[in-house]
Amino acid sequence: MDAIKFAGEHLWPGQLGHFFVIVSFVTALLSSISYFAAARSEQAMDGGKGWLTMARGAFVLHAASIIAIFTALFYIITRHLFEYHYAWEHSSRDMPGEYLLSCFWEGQQGSFMLWMFWHAVLGLIVMRTAKDLESRTMTIIAFVQAILATMILGIYLGPDIKIGTTPFMLLRNAMQNAPIFSSPDYLNFVKDGNGLNVLLQNYWMVIHPPVLFLGFALTLIPFAYCIAALWKGDYQRFIQPTLAWSLAGGAVLGTGIMMGGAWAYESLNFGGYWAWDPVENASLVPWLTLIAGLHTLLVYRNTKRALTITFVLLLLTHLLVWYSTFLTRTGILGKTSVHAFTGDGTALTYHLLIVIGALLLLSKVLLLVRWKQLPRIKTEEETLSREFWMFIGAVILFLASIQIAVTTSIPVWAPLAKWITGKEFAPPTDVMSHYNNIQVWVAIIVGLLSGAILYLRYKNSDGKTVGKRLGIVTLISLVLTGLLAWGQEIKTWQYDIMLFASLFGIVATIYYGISVQKLKFKKLGPAVTHLGFAAILLGILLSSYNKHAISLNTTGLSFNLEKKTQAETIQENMENMILFRNIPVAMGQYTATYIGDSAVGGKDKRIYYRVSFDRYDSSAKKLAEHFMLYPDAFINPKGMQGMSANPSTKHYLNKDIFTYISSAADRTKSDTSTYHTHTVNKPGDTVYLNNGFMIFNGFSNEINDKRYIPKEGDLAVKARLSVYDTKGQRREIAPIYILRDRQYITQVDDTLEDMSLYTRFGALNVHSKDSASVDIMVRQTNPMDDFIVLKALVFPYINVLWLGIVIMVFGFSISLGDALNRKVKTPKA
């Protein structure tokens, strides 16, 4: 049988893209092998220059091939070539242009490509800066790139073994059994794509994934330098570059994580910026071990201690990135995470496990081979030394990461545990309480250490000086804690201690920068970073502890807001208020009024709900504040059911008012309201409305309405009507009555959309030469037919959190600048 010739397909961009995928794999593998050969030839007369030249050239070609892959896929997506499964699955014709980039990283293959891109960029930088360590570090970087390339290779070894999934797969190959693909002209029936997940149609999702994946990519560089150091037992030259890259990784990965929090705060409706979701946890755990390894590396640089734990932590950090990839991409977390990938089946699971196993084996073998040779100092650290407490802090961060990783991984190990013990293991039902009750103690210890450690010296410290300085800090912190705990009504003792710890960290770092470092900018990196971290802890505490709903349901109505547990469902019903159109409702110190909804049209498919908030000054008896919020929602978007809501927030210096739509009236139902006739006899007569009243002001034959096109012989008159709403605001409307050719009667209606008011000049009734009446027909939508269910939360002092993030990243930047300018000195043991 002859093969079907499909009409209209554009095959060349996919073929070209797949060709460059293969090129990227081959060149990365060639570069890794060549760098490995160069590393083994370092002692040769030519230093392995031939191998170095080949390795560099291959890696440059590898980087160029990645750009070519991106270009091919971008062409496919922007040209709406829906014969390709990736374009069909993640994009559509009506998608706003600014979100086209988000299509790349919504899918598995695109996010792997983004990860590869950043590795290639960082590899080119390492190639130029690693100097004598280039061959060893680049061996690892190129090797990991070859591994990543296999994720998008999309080739078969025999009939059953598949290596990777190509982003250039044709739609007809991805859905081979669909009857439509038996037709040569199937593209005539594929008019549009499935579209981007509506939750990702947010500006944060354009910038958050690239920053997060840059953070993930940065963990590879310290990993590579640690392997390079273990490879030949060179434990001094790796310190400087590893420290610099670890600082960069800490800053970027931390920023990426909190960008995800900002996205969740602005785009998701779980009411906050952090929910201990497994995908959030999967990015947090490597950051915690990276920060722990960064601090033990500082200990080793200054005291020659803690090298072994430094290697363990920095190697583990990159391995945890791969483990996080396994958790979030194989579908194993599908029931416990709101935004994990659904997974590509068993093939990807085994693929990632093989990768993790290979990298773990490499790390473990090198550590075991060098274990006895690793430099150690046999004497114990002094208790009153910086390195002792930095080590304690690193251990605490490591334990915190273990607790988060173990709980997040319950779906992974629960089946094995059940097989061994016969008992069922399930994730905690109250996730927030489970994590918060444990991690609050981590926050307390780390908050205290972040301030106190700065006053200690390496090897030993003067107890009297440290005690005096920390005494002053403690006294100030206690006073501030008492005032803030009283003002914010923080009555839970664990969180009172956390409040003290965060304030202690803030006061200690500020006092240290002023009194000890004398505000010398280059020396302020640690103090500023720790200040930012302490401010983050304070911001988390203040914004979360007294977070409260002002949309309290006092109607007794129950809404269909199903949650995981009955308690959560009851809580949601208590904290959601129904707002009927144009009917004010008390909401905390505000009066909220649902004004109506509107659709922008075009490529923006969201429905925007206009909600007015007014705050009245009771003493002055006047309006003190007015603002509008516009929470929006996608109603029944492609591939999804129900509503996908996006919040709208009013920002103050000391709080946020956070609102989102939980439910809304069905816009697909037709308006069943009808016109009712009201007869007015003279100017000043009043017609009462659902949400105000209307006064008849008489007739006028001066008509300047674009909808009315006059013809010869017309008799046209308009009724002048003044409409007043419940707030006393006045608007003018004027329906028109037209008598054409002395026999045909037509009308031009007039409306007020925000009051759902439609008016029509029904009839002109002439009773006598001096007497006439007018039938004004009025139709108003029943407010009970147009409503929203709104949740409104107050987040006090949330800006402290965002400010803390900025300060922490700035501190990382200062430290990075200092590390890049510092020459490595070998300290005496």
Instruction: Please determine, for residue 211, whether its predicted confidence score (pLDDT) is greater than 50.
Output: yes
β-strand partners of 588: none
pLDDT at 611: 95
For helices 431-452 and 525-545, angle between their N-to-C axes, nearest 10 degrees: 150
Residue 263 or residue 659, greater confidence? 659
**CB-based contacts of 454, cutoff 8 Å, min separation 6:** 508, 509, 512, 516, 526, 527, 530
The pLDDT of 587-602, averaged and rounded, is 82
pLDDT at 197: 75
Q: Where is the domain boundary, 196, 211, 232?
A: 196
664 closest CA partner among 552, 573, 790: 790
Token reading at 629: 């919020």
The pLDDT of 722-726, averaged and rounded, is 86
The C-alpha atoms of residue 662 and residue 646 are separated, in whole angstroms, by: 10
pLDDT at 157: 80
Task: Establish if 563 belongs to a structural domain.
Answer: no
**First-residue to last-residue Cα distance in the chain:** 80
643 and 696 part of one domain: no
Phi-psi region of 280 (alpha: psi -120 to 50; beta: other; left: phi over 0): alpha
- Going by pLDDT thresholds of 50, 70 and 90, the confidence category of residue 568 is confident
Own/partner pairs, 469-476, CB within 8 angstroms, 24+ separation? 469/511, 469/512, 469/515, 469/516, 470/508, 472/511, 473/504, 473/507, 473/508, 473/511, 474/504, 476/507, 476/511
> In degrees, to the nearest 5, what angle opens at C-alpha 291 toward C-alphas 286 and 295?
145
Mean pLDDT of the chain: 87
pLDDT at 14: 94
DSSP annotation string for 611-627: EEEEEEETTTTEEEEEE
Residue 674 or residue 514, greater confidence? 514
The C-alpha atoms of residue 594 and residue 756 are separated, in whole angstroms, by: 12
Token reading at 414: 């629960």
Token reading at 262: 């900002």
**CB-based contacts of 32, cutoff 8 Å, min separation 6:** 55, 138, 139, 140, 142, 143, 145, 146
Q: Determine the 3-state secondary structure of 453 from DSSP.
A: helix
CA 713 to chain centroid, in Å, comes to 65
Q: Are 82 and 187 in contact, with CB atoms under 8 Å apart? A: yes
* pTM for the full predicted model: 0.85
The pLDDT of 109-127, averaged and rounded, is 95
Lowest-confidence region among 332-336, 445-449, 545-549, 636-640: 636-640
- Going by pLDDT thresholds of 50, 70 and 90, the confidence category of residue 333 is confident
The pLDDT of 468-492, averaged and rounded, is 95
The C-alpha atoms of residue 373 and residue 422 are separated, in whole angstroms, by: 44
32 and 147 part of one domain: yes
The pLDDT of 498-503, averaged and rounded, is 97
Could you report the per-residue pLDDT of 52-92, keeping only the tens digit for each?
999 999 999 999 999 999 999 999 999 999 999 999 988 88
Token reading at 738: 């037209």
Instruction: Please determine, for residue 632, whether its predicted confidence score (pLDDT) is greater than 90.
Output: no
Q: Are 28 and 8 in contact, with CB atoms under 8 Å apart? A: no
Q: Determine the 3-state secondary structure of 779 from DSSP.
A: strand
CA 783 to chain centroid, in Å, comes to 36
Q: Where is the domain boundary, 151, 166, 196?
A: 196
- Going by pLDDT thresholds of 50, 70 and 90, the confidence category of residue 147 is very high
Domain that holds residue 148: 1-196
The C-alpha atoms of residue 539 and residue 796 are separated, in whole angstroms, by: 9
Number of domains forming the structure of the chain:
3
Token reading at 470: 């920390």
606 closest CA partner among 635, 638, 647: 635
pLDDT at 183: 85
Q: Determine the 3-state secondary structure of 730 from DSSP.
A: strand
Longest dimension (CA), the chain: 121
**CB-based contacts of 765, cutoff 8 Å, min separation 6:** 679, 772, 773, 774, 775
Instruction: Please determine, for residue 37, whether its predicted confidence score (pLDDT) is greater than 80.
Output: yes
Task: Establish if 807 belongs to a structural domain.
Answer: no
Label the pairing between strands 155-157 and 161-163: antiparallel
The C-alpha atoms of residue 19 and residue 262 are separated, in whole angstroms, by: 38
106 closest CA partner among 16, 210, 191: 210
Amino acid residing at 164 = G
Could you report the per-residue pLDDT of 225-283, keeping only the tens digit for each?
999 999 988 899 999 999 999 999 999 999 999 988 887 887 766 667 888 888 889 99
13 and 133 part of one domain: yes
pLDDT at 689: 84
pLDDT at 670: 57
3 and 144 part of one domain: yes
The pLDDT of 147-173, averaged and rounded, is 88
Task: Establish if 363 belongs to a structural domain.
Answer: no
Burial status of residue 508 (CB atoms within 10 A of its CB: 0-12, 13-18, 19 or more): buried
Could you report the per-residue pLDDT of 346-378, keeping only the tens digit for each?
778 889 999 999 999 999 999 999 998 898 888
Q: Are 35 and 142 in contact, with CB atoms under 8 Å apart? A: yes
Task: Establish if 42 belongs to a structural domain.
Answer: yes
Task: Establish if 482 belongs to a structural domain.
Answer: no
71 closest CA partner among 149, 11, 17: 17
The pLDDT of 661-678, averaged and rounded, is 76
The pLDDT of 550-566, averaged and rounded, is 76
Token reading at 523: 């020396």
Lowest-confidence region among 100-104, 140-144, 225-229, 243-247: 100-104
Length reported for the chain: 829
79 and 130 part of one domain: yes
- Going by pLDDT thresholds of 50, 70 and 90, the confidence category of residue 15 is very high
Lowest-confidence region among 96-110, 489-503, 607-621: 96-110
% of the chain at pLDDT higher than 70: 92
738 and 629 part of one domain: no
Of the ranges 49-53, 88-92, 141-145, 520-524, the best mean pLDDT one: 141-145
Residue 604 or residue 446, greater confidence? 446
Cβ atoms within 10 Å of 567's Cβ, excluding its own: 11
- Going by pLDDT thresholds of 50, 70 and 90, the confidence category of residue 773 is confident
587 and 730 part of one domain: no
645 and 697 part of one domain: no
Token reading at 399: 């334990």
- Going by pLDDT thresholds of 50, 70 and 90, the confidence category of residue 671 is low
DSSP annotation string for 514-559: IIISTT-GGG-HHHHHHHHHHHHHHHHHHHHHT-EES----S----
The C-alpha atoms of residue 202 and residue 207 are separated, in whole angstroms, by: 10
Task: Establish if 322 belongs to a structural domain.
Answer: no
DSSP 8-state assignment for residue 180? G
Could you report the per-residue pLDDT of 574-590, keeping only the tens digit for each?
889 999 888 889 998 99
Token reading at 37: 């050969």
Task: Establish if 211 belongs to a structural domain.
Answer: no
- Going by pLDDT thresholds of 50, 70 and 90, the confidence category of residue 828 is very low
The C-alpha atoms of residue 714 and residue 742 are separated, in whole angstroms, by: 8
Token reading at 383: 């208790």
% of the chain at pLDDT higher than 90: 50
Burial status of residue 191 (CB atoms within 10 A of its CB: 0-12, 13-18, 19 or more): exposed
Token reading at 36: 């490995």
The C-alpha atoms of residue 348 and residue 366 are separated, in whole angstroms, by: 27
Q: Where is the domain boundary, 659, 694, 715?
A: 659
Instruction: Please determine, for residue 339, whether its predicted confidence score (pLDDT) is greater than 70.
Output: no
pLDDT at 639: 45
Q: Which residues of 318-351 are buried (b: 16+ CB within 10 A; e: fewer)?
A: bbbbbbbbbbbbbbbbeebbebbbebbeebbbeb
122 and 8 part of one domain: yes
43 and 157 part of one domain: yes
pLDDT at 829: 37
Instruction: Please determine, for residue 640, whether its predicted confidence score (pLDDT) is greater than 50.
Output: no
38 and 119 part of one domain: yes
Task: Establish if 466 belongs to a structural domain.
Answer: no
Instruction: Please determine, for residue 394, whether its predicted confidence score (pLDDT) is greater than 70.
Output: yes
pLDDT at 189: 86
Cβ atoms within 10 Å of 254's Cβ, excluding its own: 24
36 and 135 part of one domain: yes
549 closest CA partner among 654, 650, 657: 657
The C-alpha atoms of residue 156 and residue 829 are separated, in whole angstroms, by: 55
β-strand partners of 775: 679, 763
The pLDDT of 470-495, averaged and rounded, is 95
